[in-house]
């Protein structure tokens, strides 16, 4: 009977078609994968960071130093690597800036966690320690480092935009673009009229960015109103309409044709003519219906027939065809219109309500640089702005667009949260010093994890210095001394008279970071290097979450693809 329970002699250890890696091997693999991804973006970090040229499989070229863009173009196979790519995308979506630093911090946290695991510290202990350190870091940042600017003046906003641009292609013209970005963001402020107590919102999407070839970057311009990269459908139409009532359509205003698969057999030639007339009549009736509702501007994503154009010209209305759907959605929101995709109601009757129209003070076609654009000005529901970027080629314009988007997002976050922190590695060094002290108050094994967390944060100032061709060890040592002194004074003798200049000076050390232009440490607030607090808090939270989700992995089972069985009849 014993033979029944024995495993077959030729059986493998895994009864699956695949391989299994577990323990330290899988952890080493994950650390290697995340480390390689961090190395790809490492040299593009900071004001002195360099660009990457990405060429895809069909030869399309992208030149960028935006972390999220670089990672999204990589073809990452390792699952742990994919988590980091998703992390950068998430940071880009939520904050819009800080995509490279979040990846660097996550990879460093993971590498140090792996060293602890090799020293027989259990992953659960490290995860608890990291979460504890994160909580304390965020609390310390909010209480001691972040400055709340209740009534934001213009200057901090311009500085935030400049800091965001400093590492990008438009960094050399930061003054010009920072003012443009701040003007654009302030002009799209939207408040809830029903609940005025709610804080104002600043939607980045309300700023439309158009790209036009030619001229230099500093000849880019900001236009109050929503700019559409289209022209009127006919030269005979009016190009300026004041007190515009706008119909926004997602439908074809062309001769009605029978759908695919519908056949009509006609025996009498006169009937055929009637069908043709009716086909033309349907679309004319629709246009008539839209014009009767009071519309004098019609925007559609599809085509418009020549017969309909004649009708629009006679009525003095403006019609624009082949607009982008995304543009029309935003125009509909800004003007209070409804995007209509069919005129049929529930009963199958066709009608167009005047309530679906949007309102704007003026819709005008203007010549901007070499192209004609349609501008929707003075929109009723939400204000909007458009930035027209100029540049020598596509690669430059695409990178400028990404840079402007990051700056817009940084300014938005600052306006909505109202608090800023110094940049240039100041926050990371301050948290590093604070957590190092805090770790000594923990009488359990989590102390090691908190200590490693504090060391991981130094990857930011170190990378900034290395990319600027400076001595990172010396600069980081100087930063650490400044922040250690500042924190001792902060917690020290409260009875010290405030007029003592030395104490006041030492207190100001808490905003010290790296001045990479001159290769020394300096007060970041005086230099105007500021970032939104929200960006830093999100970076730390996201990096820890990503790191934890990878650390929890202790086995990877990779299944082989199913093999095709050969059919004996093939031979």
| More confident position, 248 or 266 | 248
Domain boundary pick from 328, 359, 382: 382
Q: Which tops the pLDDT comparison, 297 or 494?
A: 297
Please determine, for residue 6, whether its predicted confidence score (pLDDT) is greater than 50.
no
pLDDT of residue 134: 93
pLDDT digits (tens, 9 = 90+) for 158-213: 888 888 888 777 877 888 888 888 888 888 877 766 666 677 788 888 788 888 87
Q: Please indicate, yes or no, if residue 6 is contained in any of the structural domains.
A: no
Residue 253: DSSP 8-state:
B
Q: What pLDDT was estimated at residue 111? A: 92
Predicted pLDDT at 106: 92
Are residues 41 and 128 both part of a single domain?
Answer: yes
Judgement on whether residues 30 and 115 belong to the same structural domain of the protein: yes
- The pLDDT of residue 568 is 58
Q: Are residues 330 and 468 in the same domain?
A: no
Mark which of 330, 353, 382 sits at the end of a domain: 382
* Mean pLDDT, residues 387-400: 86
Asked if residue 154 belongs to a domain, the reply is no
Token pair recorded at residue 243: 């007190």
Residue 315 has pLDDT above 70, yes or no: yes
Q: Is the pLDDT of residue 268 over 80?
A: no
Average pLDDT, the chain: 81
Give me the pLDDT at residue 544, please: 92
Residue 500 lies inside a defined structural domain of this protein: yes
Lowest mean pLDDT among 246-255, 344-353, 487-496, 513-522: 487-496
pLDDT at 561 over 80: no
Helix axes 24-42, 99-118, angle to 10 degrees: 150
Answer yes or no: do 326 and 432 share one domain: no
Domain identity same for 376 and 242: yes
Q: Of all residues in the chain, what percent carry a pLDDT higher than 90?
A: 9
CATH at residue 510: 1.10.560.10
Cα–Cα distance for residue pair 7/25, rounded to 1 Å: 28
Asked whether residue 309 carries a pLDDT value surpassing 80, the answer given is yes
d(CA 61, CA 408): 25
C-alpha 320/C-alpha 303 separation (Å) is 9
More confident call, 274 vs 129: 129
pLDDT of amino acid 11: 38
Q: What is the mean pLDDT of residues 460-467?
A: 90
**Residue 4 pLDDT more than 50?**
no
Q: Which of 382, 412, 430 is the last residue of a domain?
A: 382
Per-residue pLDDT, 284: 80
Nearest of 456, 481, 464, 442 to residue 540 by alpha carbon: 456
Same domain, 338 and 260: yes
Band (pLDDT 50/70/90 cuts) for residue 98 is confident
Q: What range does the domain containing 278 cover?
A: 226-382
Residue 15 has pLDDT above 80, yes or no: no
| Predicted local confidence at residue 260, as pLDDT | 61
Are the CB atoms for 210 and 400 separated by under 8 Å? no
Is 362's pLDDT higher than 80? yes
Q: What is the pLDDT of residues 401-441, one digit of tens each?
A: 888 888 888 888 888 887 888 888 889 999 999 998 888 88
Sequential DSSP letters for 278-329: HHHHHHHHHHHHHHHTT--EEEESS-B-HHHHHHHHHHT-EEE-S--HHHHH
Is 53 in the same domain as 115? Answer: yes
Q: Give the number of domains in the chain.
A: 2
**pLDDT over 50 at 397, yes or no:** yes
Query: Domain of 354: which CATH number?
Result: 3.50.7.10
11 within a domain of the structure (yes/no): no
User: Looking at the structure, do residues 465 and 360 belong to the same domain, yes or no?
Assistant: no
Same domain? 234 vs 375: yes
What pLDDT, on a 0 to 100 scale, did the predictor assign at position 420?
A: 85
Quote the pLDDT of residue 446: 87
Q: Is residue 258 part of a domain?
A: yes
Of 430 and 276, which is predicted with more confidence?
430
What is the secondary structure of 384-414 as a DSSP string? -EEEEEEESSHHHHHHHHHHHHHHHHHHHHH
Tell me: pLDDT of 335 over 60: yes
Does any domain span residue 65? Answer: yes
Same domain, 532 and 429: yes
pTM (2 d.p.): 0.79
More confident residue, 469 or 14: 469
The reply to whether 358 and 429 lie within a common domain is no
Same domain for 378 and 252: yes
Compute the average pLDDT of residues 46-57.
86
> Which one is predicted more confidently, 292 or 153?
292
Residue 248 located in a structural domain: yes
Residue 363 predicted with pLDDT over 60: yes
**What is the reported pLDDT for 419?**
84
Residues serving a catalytic function are 66, 99-100, 406
Instruction: Report if residue 463 sits inside a domain.
Output: yes
pLDDT at residue number 331: 85
What CA–CA distance (Å, rounded) separates 139 from 487?
15
Torsion of CA 428, 434, 440, 441, to 10 degrees: -130
């Amino acid at each position: 009977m014993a033979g029944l329970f024995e495993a077959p002699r030729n059986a493998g250890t895994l009864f699956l078609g695949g391989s299994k890696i577990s323990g330290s091997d899988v952890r080493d693999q994950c650390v290697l994968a995340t480390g390689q991804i961090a190395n790809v973006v490492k040299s593009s970090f900071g004001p002195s960071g360099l660009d990457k040229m990405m060429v895809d499989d069909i030869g399309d070229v992208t030149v960028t130093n935006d972390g999220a863009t670089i990672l999204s173009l990589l073809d990452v196979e390792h699952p742990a690597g994919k988590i980091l790519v998703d992390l950068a995308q998430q940071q880009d979506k939520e904050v819009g800036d800080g995509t490279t630093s979040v990846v660097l911090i996550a990879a460093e946290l993971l590498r140090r966690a792996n060293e602890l695991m090799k020293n027989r510290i259990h992953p659960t202990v490290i995860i608890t320690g990291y979460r504890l350190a994160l909580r304390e870091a965020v609390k310390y940042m909010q209480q001691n480092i972040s400055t709340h600017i209740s009534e934001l003046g213009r200057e901090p906003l311009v500085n935030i935009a400049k800091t965001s641009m400093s590492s990008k292609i438009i960094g050399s013209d930061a003054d010009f673009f920072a003012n443009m970005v701040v003007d654009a963001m302030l002009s799209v402020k939207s408040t809830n009229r029903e609940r005025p107590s709610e804080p104002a919102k600043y939607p980045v999407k309300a700023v439309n960015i158009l790209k036009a070839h030619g001229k230099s970057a500093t000849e880019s311009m900001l236009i109050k109103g929503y700019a559409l990269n289209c022209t009127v459908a006919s030269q005979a139409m009016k190009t300026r309409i004041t007190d515009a009532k706008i119909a926004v359509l997602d439908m074809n205003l062309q001769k009605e044709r029978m759908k695919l698969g519908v056949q009509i057999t006609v025996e009498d030639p006169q009937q055929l003519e009637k069908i043709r007339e009716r086909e033309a009549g349907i679309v004319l009736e629709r246009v008539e219906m839209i014009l009767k509702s009071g519309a004098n501007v019609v925007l559609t994503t599809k085509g418009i027939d020549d017969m309909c154009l004649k009708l629009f010209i006679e009525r003095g209305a403006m019609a624009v065809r082949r607009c982008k759907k995304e543009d029309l959605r935003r125009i509909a929101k800004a003007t209070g219109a409804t995007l209509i995709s069919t005129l049929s109601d529930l009963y199958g009757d066709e009608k167009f309500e005047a309530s679906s129209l949007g309102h704007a003070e003026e819709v005008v076609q203007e010549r901007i640089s070499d192209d004609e654009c349609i501008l929707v000005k003075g929109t009723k529901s939400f204000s909007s702005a458009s930035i027209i970027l100029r540049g020598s080629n596509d690669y430059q314009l695409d990178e400028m667009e990404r840079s402007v988007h990051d700056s817009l997002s940084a300014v938005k976050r600052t306006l909505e949260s109202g608090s800023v922190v110094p940049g240039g590695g100041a926050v990371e060094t301050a948290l590093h010093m604070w957590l190092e002290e805090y770790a000594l108050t923990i009488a359990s094994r989590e102390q090691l994890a908190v200590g490693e967390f504090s060391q991981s944060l130094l990857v930011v100032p170190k990378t900034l210095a290395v990319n600027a061709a400076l001595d990172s060890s010396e600069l980081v040592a100087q930063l650490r001394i400044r922040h250690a002194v500042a924190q001792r004074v902060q917690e020290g003798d409260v009875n010290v008279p405030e007029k003592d200049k030395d104490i006041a000076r030492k207190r100001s050390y808490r905003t010290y970071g790296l001045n990479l232009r001159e290769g020394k440490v300096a007060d970041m607030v005086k230099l105007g290097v500021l970032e939104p607090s929200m960006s830093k808090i999100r970076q730390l939270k996201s990096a820890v979450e990503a790191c934890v989700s990878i650390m929890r992995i202790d086995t990877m089972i990779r299944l082989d693809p199913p093999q095709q069985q050969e059919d004996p009849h093939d031979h």
